[in-house]
């Protein structure tokens, strides 16, 4: 597929996805969302790719928000569909089965913040600004912001971010648990690559099932989550990777995992 609004590059088992609309601060129109869907579907099916890094082109923005021109045209029926379509793309990213690391360089507002929230983890440059300013436009977050943000930082802090609609700094985002780490802009992608390299060295199926246990467990009671964890632990025990991993440990050698 030829992409007009994003860039997709693959190397060393890592896929690099870049929202590439710097003239409009990488705003998310529906065409861009559909290209993100295609790119992450490709990544999901590509066995050679183990981790994805998602960022925005230019120095000013990760994604500064949704396309306001498109939003202005929505009515009750089309707006609901608009939200569902965007949510489906972010659900794909969250449940990709492979870690997705968001590198937040500059503004991550509205749909941009929601895009980052759907990722497995978030790194931010020290000049990043994050927020959910939708209430300033007479709407609410529509790509999962009211749901993922509260699950990540807690109800009270999520309410403050969503209802005030104000931007917060990278340092404040780190304090409340919205981002994992804050680095300089120059170190942002290299730090993500360092984390990705550690993930790539681990067993692919174990990584996938660990993510599934965490993601699904967040929606369950503790007892249900523990049952899911034990079940997935059992599945891992039946894999070739488990045999290889335990054998390599006992033989004091690096493991060679095959994702089987």
Q: What is the CATH number for 63? A: 3.90.226.10
Pull the structure tokens for residue 107: 């503004």
Same domain, yes or no: 227 and 195 = no
Token couple for 124: 């931010």
**pLDDT tens readout for residues 122-148:** 999 999 999 999 999 999 999 999 999
In a domain, 126, yes or no: yes
- Token representation of residue 115: 């895009």
The reply to whether 107 and 220 lie within a common domain is no
Q: List, for residues 62-115, the tens digit of each pLDDT value.
A: 999 887 888 888 889 988 988 899 899 999 999 999 999 999 999 999 999 999
- CA-to-CA dists, residue 249 to 68, 118, 244, angstroms: 54, 34, 9
Q: Which of 35, 134, 193, 229 is catalytic?
A: 134
Instruction: List pLDDT tens digits, range 34-74.
Output: 999 999 999 999 999 999 999 999 989 999 988 788 888 88
Query: Is 114 among the residues known to form the active site?
Result: yes
110 and 180 part of one domain: yes
Give the number of C-alpha atoms closer than 13 A to the C-alpha of residue 35, restricted to the C-beta side. Answer: 18
Any catalytic annotation for residue 187? no
Q: How many CA atoms lie within 13 A of 233 on its CB side?
A: 7
Spell out where the chain has E strands: 6-11, 14-19, 51-56, 61-63, 100-104, 107-109, 121-125, 129-131, 168-169, 181-183
Query: Do 63 and 134 reside in the same domain of the chain?
Result: yes
The residues with which 42 forms a beta bridge, in sequence order, are: none
Catalytic residue among 34, 35, 114, 166: 114
Residues 6 or more apart whose Cβ sits within 8 Å of residue 31: 4, 5
Residue 116 shares a structural domain with residue 128 = yes
**Per-residue burial over 70-83, b = 16 or more CB atoms within 10 Å of its CB, e = otherwise:** ebeeeeeeeeeebb
Q: Does 255 reside within a domain?
A: no
Distance set, CA 142 to CA 63, 112, 123, 145 (Å): 15, 11, 23, 7
Instruction: Count how many domains the chain has.
Output: 2
**Paired tokens of 67:** 């396309």
**HSE of 171, CA atoms in CB hemisphere, 13 A:** 3
197 phi and psi, to 5 degrees?
-60, -40
> Do 89 and 37 sit in the same domain of this protein?
yes
Single pTM value for the model? 0.93
Confidence check: pLDDT of 235 > 90? yes
User: Do residues 128 and 112 lie in contact, with contact meaning Cβ atoms separated by under 8 Å?
Assistant: no
- Residues 217, 177 share a domain: no
Q: Are 166 and 131 in contact (CB under 8 A)?
A: yes
Distance CA 5, CA 25 (A): 12
Domain extent for 21: 6-200
């Amino acid at each position: 597929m030829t992409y007009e609004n994003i860039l997709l590059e693959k190397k060393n088992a890592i896929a690099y996805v870049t929202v590439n609309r710097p003239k409009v601060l990488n705003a998310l129109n529906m065409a861009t969302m559909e290209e993100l869907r295609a790119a992450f579907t490709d990544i999901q099916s590509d066995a050679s790719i183990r981790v994805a890094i998602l960022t925005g082109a230019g120095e000013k923005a990760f994604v500064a928000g949704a396309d306001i021109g498109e939003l202005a045209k929505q009515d009750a029926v089309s707006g609901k569909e608009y939200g569902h379509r965007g949510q489906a793309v972010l659900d794909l990213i969250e449940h990709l089965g492979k870690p997705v690391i968001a590198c937040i360089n500059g503004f991550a507002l509205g749909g941009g913040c929601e895009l980052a929230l759907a990722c497995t983890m978030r790194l931010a440059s020290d000049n990043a600004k994050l927020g959910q300013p939708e209430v300033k436009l007479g709407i609410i977050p529509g790509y999962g912001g009211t749901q993922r943000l509260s699950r990540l930082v807690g109800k009270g802090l999520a309410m403050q971010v969503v209802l005030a609609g104000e931007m917060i700094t990278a340092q404040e985002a780190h304090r409340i648990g919205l981002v994992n780490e804050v680095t300089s802009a120059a170190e942002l992608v290299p730090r993500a690559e360092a984390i990705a390299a550690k993930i790539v060295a681990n067993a692919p199926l174990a990584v996938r099932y660990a993510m599934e246990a965490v993601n699904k467990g967040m929606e369950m009671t503790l007892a249900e989550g523990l049952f899911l964890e034990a079940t997935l632990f059992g599945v891992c025990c039946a894999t070739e990777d488990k045999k290889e991993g335990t054998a390599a440990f006992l033989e004091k050698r690096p493991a060679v995992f095959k994702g089987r």
